[in-house]
Amino acid sequence: MQSQQPFNIIILGTGGQGQITLLQILAKAAMTAGLDIKTSELHGLSQRGGSVEVHIKFGKEVHSPLIKQGGADLVIAQEIQEALKGCYFSSKEKTNFIINDLLIPIPGEKNIGKEYILQTIKNFSKETILIPAQDICQQKLGTSVTAGVFLIAFASYKKLIPLEPEIIKKALKQVLPQKYLKINLDTLNLVREEVDTNLP
Amino acid sequence: MESDLLKTKNQKSLLLGNEAIIRGALESGVQFVSTYPGTPASEIGNIFYRIAQKQGVYFEFSTNEKVAMEAAAGASFSGLRSLVAMKNFGLNVASDFLYPLLYTGVPKGMVIVVADDPSCWSSAQSEDNSRWHDLKAKIPTLEPSTPQECKDFVKIAFELSEKFKTPVMIRETTRVAHQSAPVILGNIPKKSKKEALFVKNPDMYSTMAPRVFKMKKELLDKIKNIEKIVEKSPLNFVKNQNSKSKKIGAIASGVSYLYLLEALENLNIKIPILKLGFFYPLPEKKIKNFIKNLDQVLIIEELEPFLEKEIERLAKDVNPKLKINGKNLLPEIGELKPEYIILALSKILKVKPDFDYQNHLKKVQEINLPKRNPQLCPGCPYHIVFSTIKKLSSKNTVIGGEIGCYMLATYPPYEIQDYLYCMGSDISIAHGIKKATKNKQKVIAFIGDSSFFHAGIPALVNTVYNNSNPLIIILNNSTTAMTGHQPYPGDVGINIENVVRACGVKNVKTLDQTNIKEFEDTVKDFLEKDEVSVIIATKPCIFVNKK
């Protein structure tokens, strides 16, 4: 990394989508790259199917574990409505959004329309990429559990994160239990193929 | 991760603040650890539960925080280094014991870890600030900012504890406890083979008048001696002493210090900073020295203006004209964020912020954000309980809850919770309502299994002793679910129905609530009883068998 300022990522989703695992993968990858890191996560009540927001920052020297308002370089949303929560941390000048095209309804609430979401985020982002990660993983790998890893691998291949795919691969091996490793490495390969062919 | 936590000396590991506290305790040769689960302190217990045996450490989940602290003190009295961990509310529960414990002191290192939760991310009940216990209990307290400091401060805390024969507290907040960063590891020593022994010394341990007044004098003297150490402690230091700005400074501690560094970096400005790691007793001379030549100071702290009040007091002596900024620019409600410090500093320093925060915020506030409340898990056995009670209770029926997954009865689709306080409270409140309303209203009180053992039993005895008739539903899901499925006293066969009967309750029924007819009939029947009645709903948490 060239810049003195840390690289700031917000990961959003709902409880149970594995945000903390994604955070650990990115943090390990940054550590392998020899960078300083700070992350912030929440446990307990907030995990019971509620909204989950984790912060990860890496660079030469990182102070605050929280990303400031308008300070995110990248927002990764595992659910499309939750992506809206990234706007607080984003700005048109620097922030890219990668959004999983998946809607998890909120009991008793009306779904927020995709049009509205994308239109709103446009005002807070440099580039917004919507990917049906859930569907692609389900179709090509027979399971959607690795949709989150798909998103971070995508960010890496598209150079939207200053961490090479090889480093992400190493981090997967460090963080994931043996029994889940293969499917995640397959996901990484799948992203490489898709980026070359089908994806935006 | 545990493998990172247990790596060998001199390696660098990515650890959460709470994991770093565990590592610090292991590097200090801790021998006895106790806790009651409570987020944001939970991981300390969860991880010790898994690793303690292999590490040669005694570990227990105690029935509540007061019991946990007393047990840890007993271990220290017997010559073992002990650590007890809890969340802020737990310290309130334990405080009845904490205050006299400071009078007597401890012969062997004892560290109390307390985790506060500004913004109530994992808390109901209140936005509690444990700093006030420092003053009242006179407990030496360290406040780490980073995981590295979490580890290092625990080691320092054990040393201080033994040097001054006093328990020492580590106060962290959510953003320290659940912050991860690289930590350089130290050595985990071999376990001491020395046998523990309680050496009798009633003069030390019996807090009876008139001895208690001498104890208080000894405590005050001890704090005076610690004050001397604090003045020289490297945990309190001045940063940017030689910056160009000499008239405006800032004082911070814990995670607020990190936000301050972030803010200054974003504003591309340097001002002198006094960082307080050793938080109680405060280094008064060092503070006076820091503020005496300033025109303005910014005190950066979450929740109440604890430090601000202390600095106002100290400024009277050395710099009465000092403009003290704190809660005039920063909120007293909710946690701080880096941008709050940026805005406060830009006001004081009269510089333009690095970003148009206000305009940006205005635009963000116009967004229709998803409102996703925490939910009971699909298949949770509480669903049936709440839907049945909602169906069977009249508009006039009062329904009380307390701390556990069942507090989610507050949210849609149930919305049946009429009050919520601390553990054990809803049975006693139900009793009070019953007595006050002379039985005109029916009252149903929910309590979890772990909460029942924590603080419910004395309240239940009170309903029998003072004769009132609420219906109490004990939700026995066979675990401490909300905080991460920790074990509970039921695991060793303590039968809740036997306990309830032994308290003198006659109307008791243990049932599986998925047998809806039996559950409904029992609720209807018990609501008409003249004496207290208890239903124990035994369907386990869906995660119990997956453990």
| Domain B382-546 classification at class level | alpha beta
pLDDT exceeds 70 at position B240: yes
Pairwise CA distance, residues B44 & B315, whole Å = 39
Two tokens at A170? 């190493």
Are B373 and A50 inside 8 Å of each other by CB? Answer: yes
pLDDT at A47: 59
Q: How many CB atoms lie within 10 A of CB A115?
A: 8
pLDDT exceeds 70 at position B192: yes
Average pLDDT (B386-405) is: 94
Q: Number of Cβ pairs closer than 8 Å across A and B?
A: 153
Tell me the nearest-neighbour CA distance from A137 into chain B, angstroms. Answer: 24
Tell me the nearest-neighbour CA distance from A197 into chain B, angstroms. Answer: 34
pLDDT exceeds 70 at position B249: yes
pLDDT exceeds 80 at position B12: yes
Q: Which residues of chain A have pLDDT under 70?
A: 1-3, 44-48, 198, 200
Average pLDDT (B55-68) is: 97
Are A106 and B370 inside 8 Å of each other by CB? Answer: yes
Q: How many CB atoms lie within 10 A of CB B11?
A: 10
Task: Report whether B226 contacts B281 (CB < 8 A).
Answer: yes
Task: Report whether A157 contacts A192 (CB < 8 A).
Answer: yes
Residues of B in contact with A51 (CB under 8 A): 370, 372
Are B178 and A40 inside 8 Å of each other by CB? Answer: yes
Two tokens at B377? 């898990």
Two tokens at B471? 């219906």
Are B180 and A109 inside 8 Å of each other by CB? Answer: no
Tell me the nearest-neighbour CA distance from A186 into chain B, angstroms. Answer: 24
pLDDT in tens, B480-534: 888 888 888 888 989 999 999 999 999 999 999 999 999 999 999 999 999 999 9
Pairwise CA distance, residues B396 & B415, whole Å = 14
B360 → closest Cβ in A48, A70, A175: A70
Are B369 and A85 inside 8 Å of each other by CB? Answer: yes
A113 interface with B at CB cutoff 8 Å: no
Q: How many CB atoms lie within 10 A of CB B208?
A: 8
Tokens 């580590």 appear where? B170
Q: What is the CA radius of gyration of chain A?
A: 16
Instruction: Report the length, in residues, of chain B.
Output: 547
| Domain B236-365 classification at class level | alpha beta
pLDDT at B547: 47
A37 → closest Cβ in B122, B124, B182: B182
Residues of B in contact with A44 (CB under 8 A): 39-40, 42, 121-122, 482-484
pLDDT at A25: 97
Q: Among the CATH numbers 3.40.50.970, 3.30.1280.10, 3.30.1360.20, 3.40.920.10, which is that of B2-232?
A: 3.40.50.970
Closest residue by Cα to residue B33 from B85, B86, B109: B85
pLDDT at A2: 44
Question: Percentages helix, strand, coil for chain B, rounded to the nearest 5?
Answer: 45, 15, 40
Helices and strands: H and E segment counts in chain B: 21, 20
Are B413 and A50 inside 8 Å of each other by CB? Answer: no
Tell which A residues from 149 to 188 touch B, by Cβ distance under 8 Å.
175
Task: Report whether B423 contacts B451 (CB < 8 A).
Answer: yes
pLDDT in tens, A96-124: 999 999 999 988 889 999 999 999 999 99
Distances (CA, A) of B148 to A37, B11, B20, B156: 12, 13, 7, 12
Task: Report whether B345 contacts B269 (CB < 8 A).
Answer: yes
Q: How many CB atoms lie within 10 A of CB B417?
A: 19
Pairwise CA distance, residues B98 & B66, whole Å = 8
Rounded to the nearest angstrom, the gap between the alpha carbon of residue B57 and the centroid of all alpha carbons in its chain is 23
Report ipTM for this prediction. 0.95
Answer yes or no: same fold for B2-232 and B382-546.
yes
Q: Provide the residue ranges of all domains of chain B, joining segments of one domain with +.
A: 2-232, 236-365, 382-546
Pairwise CA distance, residues B274 & B313, whole Å = 17
pLDDT at A100: 97
pTM: 0.96
pLDDT exceeds 70 at position B377: yes
A99 interface with B at CB cutoff 8 Å: no
B360 → closest Cβ in A69, A85, A107: A69
| Domain A7-196 classification at class level | alpha beta
Residues of A in contact with B371 (CB under 8 A): 106, 109
Two tokens at B4? 């990172």
Per-residue buried b or exposed e for B262-301, using 16+ beta carbons within 10 Å of the residue's own CB: bbbbbbebebbbbbbbbbbbbbbebbeebbeebebbbbbb
Q: What angle do CA A120, A126, A128 make, to 5 degrees?
A: 60
Tell me the nearest-neighbour CA distance from A47 into chain B, angstroms. Answer: 7
- A166: CB partners within 8 A, 6+ apart: none
Average pLDDT (B368-392) is: 91
